[in-house]
Structure 1
Amino acid sequence: MRIKKYDVDYSRRQMMQNMALGAGAGVLMPLDKLWAKDSGLQDISKAYPDEAFSIEEQTKGKISVGDYVTADNVEHVEHLLDPCQIFQIKNDGRRFRVGPPETDMTRMFTYQNLQKTLENEQTGYKAKFDSNGNVVGPDGKPWRGGFPFPNPQDALQTQANAALSWGRADANLYAVRQHDYGGDGQEEYAYDFAWVELQMQARIDGQVFRGKSDEIRRQTAYFESSDDVKGTSFLSVWKYDQREVPDLYGYLPQFRRVRQYPANQRFEPLVPGATWFLTDPWAAGDPMLTWGEYEIVERKPMLMSTSGNISIKNENWEMPRIPGNEKYMDVELSLAPEAYVVKSKPTGYPRAPVSYRLAYFDARNSTYTGCLRFDRQEKPWVSFESAFGYYDTDNLRVMGHDGKHPAWSWTWVMSYNMQNKRMTLIDHAKEASGIKSLFEIDQDWMYDTYLTPSAQQALGRV
């Protein structure tokens, strides 16, 4: 019989104590020590007791790896879920499978981002906030790339990790398939589009792309189908100064011109049927300093998906649906030993229909898996739940940005309106209406094709 040295309550007490002290992640030892050597990240069990990785311990033997969580047994894991997940399981027929925990953090990053972060740690290149609240290097100049705060001490550092480089790479082009369902579970809309991201600064190569020294990224959503939105695109030009709202340009084929949109467009759906807004993706859809009053309101283990625990089930990488309940994906969540629940408010948007949001971050790699926004009456509104995976599984291997190491990226999104039970399912697909997901990318081609107003016009007229 194994005698437990630490119980579940010990981990939770230590996490609460760390929160009170403003300490970073880790229970038995801080994650800083694991970042000191690359080998340390391959076995992070040194930082947490076994019980923090054990769903059996967390549920007193009621749930095991491989089990499905349903309305019949969700009571045993409610303390490990967010409020929307609990609501979906109890009231809307959702289920999920419990996967094995991940203890190898090298499978929780893009390879290049991880190597750049380790280089920064080894050379003493540390991030800090300047007088305006923006992330800069130790020399006060714009951040040169990599993970700015490997072991965040507070909510703002956690948010900065999410905001500075969304996909943890200099360039990403995702083929996206979206299906929108009504509250009755019937599909109402379907779209295929490209989601394109290009870092101008905070790049892994340490460069400023095309001399855009006042920008941090450009991002475009370009719709290839359905026919009624084909050619529609939205371009966001982000300033490096996180206090500034991005310039937003839209091209609508029926008007055959590009127009600039006001800031409140970030809080409206881009296309009919969608439950998500531009403010939602990455739990950092707006510059981090246009939101404020950041605080970590809770630290605890959670069932999440920020590692390689989800296998891609078919050739086009799309997730299967729950049999008999097509508006939910049939997915797997795994126990993360420590999660940060970060609360923030849209202080830079006086007309925002949102009172605040709760973002759920895996403390090990500062990747969110859920972002729940609340309406002006502070009622739960829309959950933007996401999953991330290491693209090296039993049935899939996809090379990443350097062409040599497996990719790590987001795999699926379920955006759910709790007030009317509408659902948007979003797959990171291999291909969607001729658009192909790319990790190795000609960045000049991507910029010229997708990331300028003139490119929007050209795409809309094809």
Structure 2
Amino acid sequence: MHIRKYDMNFSRRQLLKGMAAGAAAGVLMPLEKVMAKDLNLLKAYPDELYSVEDQTKGQISVGDYLTADNVEHAKHLLDPSIYDQILNEGRRIKIRAPTTDLRQLFNNSYYEAMKRNLAEGRSGKFDSNGNVVDDAGKAWGGGLPFTSPKNGKEIWANMAMSWGRADANTYAIRQWDYGADGGLEYEYDFQWVELQMQARTDRKVFRGYDNEIRRQCVYFSNSQDVRGTSFLSNWAYDQNKIPDLYGYLPEFRRVRQFPANQRFEPLIPGATWFLTDPWAAGDPYLTWGNHKITDRKPMLLACNGNFGSTDDNWEPVTQANNPKFWETEYEMCPDVIVTECEPVGYPRSPVSKKQVFADARNSVPCGCMRYDRQGKLWANFEMAFGQFVGGGADGNRVVLSADGKTPAWSWTYVMIYDHQNKRMSKTHHAKKGVGTESLFQIDEDWLFETYCTQQALQSLGRA
């Protein structure tokens, strides 16, 4: 007979106690020690915190589906948006076994960069302007600067410094936009590109751009009415500065610069997401303020899995008779940081605050709720992550990462649900789309020249 050491309220009491004291992530052992020695995560968190059965008093088990009939038993483990979707929109979510291998929550190169930092005793800190620097006061060189974030500013910096946890990312994305009645209204294909100038795992500065941290491009290749539309966002290393945003609109046949408020508007008709939404920290973290951690607790998140059931183009299964939603799997995460901030750098922002639910083990945001100026829930940007392992003809499919040896890790799907008009933008990380392709082994010079300059936008728009 296994005697439980902790009751279901232990985690909340212990994590809140640690939060108040500025303690590191982990209950039994700091995460830094787990990573340094490649230990099982059960060394940091007791198995009781990984047990959905314990957390729901035996009402929900691994393999069960959360539906409107039983979601009340798991309400305390879900963010309010997901709870509402299950209760009122007919969504269902399958519960999978939890992940206890920390490596599975990172891509390998990023994980190894963090291990190197730990071995060298290297960590991040804030300079006088609030930007992240290393112990020598130089620009941060890669990996999470705060392995165990202890305050709101640290968790937001972790999320903003390197979105995709790789030096270069290029995603083929397919998107479907649904109305309140569940009818399909728009369908798009686009390429999303991220190229880190700094905060790279190789600790280098790409092409000497030491005043920038990242360039990000989105290029719409389909449908016909938006084909050739593209946007380029150049991020300064100084997180107090709003990124320069350029766009190419085929009807004008030229590149123009857009104002900051474009970050709070849909880029294309039908979309429920804005540039501020992706990765939760879609804007430099110092253009938002009043960062704070409001809670820490175990929750159900899409923090791993959700790839093995996808088809050859990595598309998830659509929920039967409810096309707004993918069939998704959630698992117990023992330590979730609930954090908020406000748009202090955007006086015209229609958003009053963001509330993010981030996995404390890797600082990845699985849910970001956006609130309007009246403080009402507006939309939720839900992201799922995991290793690209499973499925395929033999069930053993493995997509390799940039090193060509280890499994790729990335986001698998995103759903952006607008609570005020019941609309949904449903996307997935595709292998290929119309005129797009996802790559994990990337020629960074090609990526820069093809997507990350104003001249590239013109070439894409005229192709």
TM bucket, shorter chain: over 0.9
Superposition pairs of residues 174-213 of structure 1, within 5 angstroms? 174-213=171-210
Q: Which residue does the alignment assign to 2:430?
A: 429
Deviation per residue, 1:117-168 (Å, 9 max, x gap) = 1001101121111000000111101011122111111111111111100001
CA distance in 1, matches of 2:191, 2:444: 15
Cα offset, 1:384, TM superposition:
0.2
**Equivalent residue letter for 1:410:** W
TM-score normalized by the length of structure 2? 0.98
- Greater shift, 26-35 or 189-198, is seen at 26-35
Q: Which residue does the alignment assign to 1:262?
A: 259
Q: Does structure 2 retain, via aligned residues, the 8 Å contact 1:170–1:203?
A: yes
> What secondary structure, in the 3-state scheme, does the structure 1 residue paired with 2:325 have?
strand
Cα offset, 1:403, TM superposition:
1.0
Superposition pairs of residues 347-386 of structure 1, within 5 angstroms? 347-386=344-383
Deviation per residue, 1:304-330 (Å, 9 max, x gap) = 122235424200001111100001111
- Greater shift, 310-319 or 425-434, is seen at 310-319
1:220 aligns with 2:220: no
1:110 aligns with 2:88: no
CA distance in 2, matches of 1:133, 1:311: 41
Q: Which residue does the alignment assign to 1:150?
A: 147
Q: Which residue does the alignment assign to 1:302?
A: 299
Superposition pairs of residues 219-258 of structure 1, within 5 angstroms? 219-258=216-255
Deviating above 4 A after TM superposition, structure 1's stretches of 4 or more consecutive aligned residues are none
Q: Which residue does the alignment assign to 1:169?
A: 166
Q: Which residue does the alignment assign to 2:415?
A: 414
Superposition pairs of residues 44-193 of structure 1, within 5 angstroms? 44-193=41-190
Deviation per residue, 1:277-311 (Å, 9 max, x gap) = 00000011000000010111011101012223542
- Greater shift, 150-159 or 102-111, is seen at 150-159
- Tell me the percent identity: 57
Q: Does structure 1 retain, via aligned residues, the 8 Å contact 2:264–2:350?
A: yes
**Which of 340, 344, 350 in structure 1 is aligned with 2:337?**
340
User: Which ranges in structure 2 are unaligned for 5 or more consecutive residues?
Assistant: none
Q: Does structure 2 retain, via aligned residues, the 8 Å contact 1:145–1:203?
A: yes
Q: Does structure 1 retain, via aligned residues, the 8 Å contact 2:307–2:316?
A: no
**Equivalent residue letter for 2:425:** T
Against the structure 1 CA distance between its residues 356 and 425, is the aligned structure 2 distance closer, same or farther, given a 3 Å change threshold? Answer: same
CA distance in 2, matches of 1:99, 1:108: 15
Q: Does structure 2 retain, via aligned residues, the 8 Å contact 1:102–1:309?
A: no
Q: Does structure 1 retain, via aligned residues, the 8 Å contact 2:306–2:412?
A: no
Against the structure 1 CA distance between its residues 309 and 5, is the aligned structure 2 distance closer, same or farther, given a 3 Å change threshold? Answer: farther
Q: Does structure 1 retain, via aligned residues, the 8 Å contact 2:307–2:314?
A: no
Q: Which residue does the alignment assign to 1:3?
A: 3
Q: Which residue does the alignment assign to 1:446?
A: 447
Cα offset, 1:11, TM superposition:
1.6
**Equivalent residue letter for 1:450:** Y
1:276 aligns with 2:277: no
Deviation per residue, 1:56-93 (Å, 9 max, x gap) = 00111111001000000000000000111111111111
Q: Does structure 1 retain, via aligned residues, the 8 Å contact 2:232–2:245?
A: yes
Deviation per residue, 1:177-229 (Å, 9 max, x gap) = 00000011000000000000000111111111111110000000000000000
CA distance in 1, matches of 2:45, 2:277: 31
CA distance in 2, matches of 1:271, 1:278: 11
Q: Which residue does the alignment assign to 1:459?
A: 460
Q: Which residue does the alignment assign to 2:398?
A: 397
1:25 aligns with 2:8: no
Deviation per residue, 1:381-436 (Å, 9 max, x gap) = 01000000111225321000111111000000000000110000011000001311
> What secondary structure, in the 3-state scheme, does the structure 1 residue paired with 2:279 have?
helix
Deviation per residue, 1:214-249 (Å, 9 max, x gap) = 000000000000000000000000000000000000
Q: Does structure 2 retain, via aligned residues, the 8 Å contact 1:183–1:421?
A: yes
CA distance in 1, matches of 2:319, 2:304: 22
CA distance in 1, matches of 2:24, 2:290: 19
Superposition pairs of residues 307-326 of structure 1, within 5 angstroms? 307-308=304-305, 310-326=307-323
TM-score normalized by the length of structure 1? 0.98
Deviation per residue, 1:343-373 (Å, 9 max, x gap) = 1000100000011110000011110100001
User: Which ranges in structure 1 are unaligned for 5 or more consecutive residues?
Assistant: none
**Equivalent residue letter for 2:32:** D
CA distance in 2, matches of 1:112, 1:48: 25
